Amino acid sequence: MTDRNEEQAGTPAPRRHVVLLVMAMVFVLDVVMRPMMPTNETRYLGVAWEMLTGHHWLVPFQNGVPYSHKPPLLFWLINLVWLPGISEYAARLVAPALSILALWLTGRLADRMRPGGQFGNAAIVILGTMVPFYFFGGETNFDGILMLAMVTCAAALWRIGMTPAPRLSHWLAFGVALGFGVYAKGPVIFVHALPLVLAMRWWAGPGRFSVTGLLAALLVALGLVALWLVPAFITGDATYREEILWTQSAGRVVNSFAHAEPWWFYGAVLPMLLFPWIAIPGFWRSRPLDHVEKFALAWFLGPFILFSLISGKQPDYLLPAMPAAALLLANRWPLRRGRPWIVAAVLVGVMAVVLALPTGVLGQQVSDFLDLPLAFVILVPLVLALAVLMRWPGLVWLTVPALALALNTAYFIGPAGKIMSPKEIAGIIAERDGSVGYAGSDYRGDFHFAGRLQAPLTLLPDDAAIDAFVQANPEGLIVGRIDQATRPDWAPQHTIRYRKRDTWAVWNIEDKGR
């Protein structure tokens, strides 16, 4: 009788401060137990480091040349936490801290949508324990900051949509949030925010949308961005101006030069993005849509469709839309126990997709562990998740923290922590800082922050460049992958396993001819 009563009553959402504390601890352990990860964390920490050492506060630099791929906000924030002193851990906690702030603001937005606390608690629990929130929000990257910007945009739009007579000041606040989004990751904020604006008549009703208000918001956003962009244009070179105006925005849409995937890509990875909540019985039952669900659908489906049409695709691009998915799922709370075999089948299917897709987050992570038993990394948390879902649905939110702990433990005690770290190579080449060449033309800043390098590596794209560098730097070093076509023709001084299964080498020019 007790079980039946529990099933009818459902399981209430955990209190938000518990979930916020758990996810904050997960992110701290993540930073402490695993190395800075190539290529995102090593690259962005390297850019922040060059901003500090070269005083490039307006135009970021990577390996001595302007870096136009991203705006400078993340690099500014990292340098801000470096004011007391340089710290890898402090720098790597910047983006996760902003993700936690986005998580908290999602709960506040949910409270305004449905006062009482339960809806806000459920939204925080679901968003904070989704796979993409941990994997993308906890890494030194731009998507967590963009998620924070999008939540502020959504909060401003909800206020506009639910106010009988929105004032111009409401639209100006939306413009400030848009400007923040551009500083976070560039014009991609419009892909997330504008569909929600254009669908306002559907989710809010007539009379809320205002062309004048939208234009005012866009002017505010452009004005805020101009505070940085105009001086950056003046101080940057012609190549930087061209790339930041076209290549890094419209160029990615028309013909992606990175991360090109087919149109169905996001549909294929959607089960992974919604894990583990996709398996909860009752979350997918049909019922009429209210204002909250219409708002969340417009927020989620807009970028989902637009990114599917854009050539460049990565799972983390949808992180700013995941608060919308959390609101949709939270609207189906409370949890109830369902059919265990259905839950098990769905979970196993999701994990199969995750592990099978070459671009799947867990598939990529598992490949990093090399010699570690696969069961330790994946199967144990999966079995625990199945047990929790079948018997205690109220504990399902612990699935992703348990998976995170398993992955970080594997990094901490296994070979992957050393293999994925750039510090061994960086320590070797730091001794010859200023006379180090890179065999190839695709250096992504792996070693600059790890080695605290003060000078750029000389790119050596062909044999002629290697010969010229050898003549000019008789006591220098050359670093690169040992299996690539362009590399020195004498035996390396060091061979090091770095970045998954790649073998890298450091050649001492003094050894040439011996």
pLDDT tens by residue, 168-215:
999 999 999 999 999 999 899 999 999 999 999 999 988 889 999 999
- Give the pTM: 0.88
pLDDT value at residue 361: 43
Q: Does residue 93 have a pLDDT over 80?
A: yes
| DSSP symbol at 64 | T
Q: Which amino acid is at 49?
A: W
291-309 vs 94-113: helix crossing angle, rounded to 10: 140
Q: Does residue 364 have a pLDDT over 50?
A: no
Q: Does residue 307 have a pLDDT over 80?
A: yes
How far is the C-alpha of 106 from the C-alpha of 99, rounded, in Å?
10
H or E stretch at 310 = none
pLDDT value at residue 357: 47
pLDDT value at residue 381: 60
Give which of 507, 468, 510 is closest to 491, Cα–Cα: 507
**Phi-psi map region of 282: left, alpha, beta (phi>0 left; psi -120 to 50 alpha):** left
pLDDT value at residue 43: 96
Name residues whose C-beta falls within 8 Å of residue 286's C-beta, 6 or more positions apart in sequence: none
How far is the C-alpha of 113 from the C-alpha of 106, rounded, in Å?
11
Backbone phi, then psi, for 479, in 5-degree steps?
A: -120, 145
How far is the C-alpha of 324 from the C-alpha of 302, rounded, in Å?
11
Average the pLDDT over each of 63-77, 109-123, 373-387, 478-492 and give the range with the smallest value: 373-387
pLDDT value at residue 295: 96
Burial of 376 (0-12, 13-18, 19+ CB in 10 A): middle
Digit-coded pLDDT (tens) for 243-275: 776 655 544 544 544 556 788 888 888 888 887
pLDDT value at residue 338: 54
Give which of 112, 106, 217 is closest to 170, Cα–Cα: 217
Q: Does residue 392 have a pLDDT over 80?
A: no
pLDDT value at residue 401: 86
**CA atoms 353, 358, 360, 365: torsion sign:** positive
Burial of 69 (0-12, 13-18, 19+ CB in 10 A): middle
Average pLDDT over residues 365-384: 52
| DSSP symbol at 314 | -
How far is the C-alpha of 293 from the C-alpha of 150, rounded, in Å?
17
Burial of 514 (0-12, 13-18, 19+ CB in 10 A): exposed
pLDDT value at residue 239: 79
Average pLDDT over residues 340-367: 51
Q: Does residue 362 have a pLDDT over 90?
A: no
Where is pLDDT greater, at 285 or 294? 294
pLDDT class of 405 with cuts at 50, 70, 90: confident
Digit-coded pLDDT (tens) for 454-485: 999 999 999 999 999 999 999 999 999 998 88
pLDDT value at residue 382: 61
Coarse DSSP helix, strand, coil percentages of the chain, rounded to the nearest 5 percent: 60, 5, 30
Helices (H), 310-459: 322-330, 340-356, 361-367, 374, 380-391, 399-413, 416-419, 423-430
How far is the C-alpha of 501 from the C-alpha of 474, rounded, in Å?
31
pLDDT value at residue 237: 80
Q: What is the token pair recorded at 385?
A: 């998740």
Q: Does residue 9 have a pLDDT over 50?
A: no
How far is the C-alpha of 331 from the C-alpha of 284, rounded, in Å?
11
pLDDT value at residue 342: 56
Average pLDDT over residues 369-373: 47
How far is the C-alpha of 346 from the C-alpha of 5, rounded, in Å?
26
Average pLDDT over residues 118-145: 92
Half-sphere exposure (CA, 13 Å, Cβ side) for 112? 15
Average pLDDT over residues 24-42: 93
Backbone phi, then psi, for 129, in 5-degree steps?
A: -115, 25
How far is the C-alpha of 478 from the C-alpha of 510, rounded, in Å?
11
Burial of 325 (0-12, 13-18, 19+ CB in 10 A): buried
pLDDT class of 407 with cuts at 50, 70, 90: confident
Helices (H), 140-287: 143-162, 168-185, 189-198, 200-204, 211-235, 238-242, 250-254, 265-273
pLDDT value at residue 396: 74
Q: Does residue 435 have a pLDDT over 50?
A: yes
- Asked if 478 and 458 touch (Cβ cutoff 8 Å), the reply is no
Digit-coded pLDDT (tens) for 224-241: 999 999 999 888 887 787
Give which of 357, 356, 345, 350 is closest to 403, Cα–Cα: 350
- Pairing state of beta strands 436-439 and 458-460? parallel
pLDDT class of 13 with cuts at 50, 70, 90: confident
